[in-house]
Amino acid sequence: MPSTPVLSTMTLPTGTVYQFKDLTARQLIEDLTGAVSGAVHYVDETTTPLTDGATTSPITVDGKSYTPHAGDVVAYGENEFIWSEVSHKWREFGSTGSLKALAFKDSASGTFTPAGTVSQPTFTGTEKQVSVKGTPAGTVAVQLNIALSKTNVTPIDGVGTLPNLQFSVTGENLSISWDAGTLPTKGTAVSVATDVDSASATGTFTGSEMTSTGAHTPEGTVSQPTFTGSQGNVTVS
């Protein structure tokens, strides 16, 4: 940027020329001049197509030709450009973009719904062995099969009677007599078991539904949901 010249006079619009003799006053005016030359100021909208880095000069503003100066800001479409006196290029530094009217509001309210999809979490698991103890519910029917060895035995039907000794004394004579009694009598022969030849058992189980309970912790990982979005619109009221 060129250096600011040293001022010693000031010419007013009326043509009056003032001489600056006071060094302090001259310095204040020089500082003010430098501040104004480096300030950013808005010019207006232009119909001249501009892009970042364009060297277009002059441009059309309000239907008239305009030569940009350092710090000039113009609007073209939705973009804002500032003129660099060093590079003599337009630099884009702002855009209203999709904000549209919102860019010019002091405050706004509204709702915004993101456009996109959220993936569903998925579970990736591995097999895990579970041990559960249970008691069957139902009944058991058992049938025994036994083969016996038998023999015929004749029982005693009557035990008989014992001999009956009788004696008597008449004077000096002893008389002895006896009854021989009776022998035991046999009964009807019967068959009785003497040994077990073989034995076996068969059974059937009649069951009903049983509920078993136990603790099980699945082994695996759950994926985190992800959001895949696209540009959405903001509605401002």
pLDDT by residue (tens digit) across 86-102? Answer: 889 999 876 656 555 55
Residue 232, pLDDT above cutoff 80:
no
Residue 5 and residue 207: Cα distance in Å, rounded? 113
Q: Read off the pLDDT of residues 136-158 as tens digits, 9 standing for 90 and up.
A: 777 888 888 888 888 887 777 77
- DSSP SS3 for 25: helix
- What is the model's pTM? 0.32
Q: Which two tokens stand for residue 121?
A: 């979490």
Residue 92 and residue 94: Cα distance in Å, rounded? 6
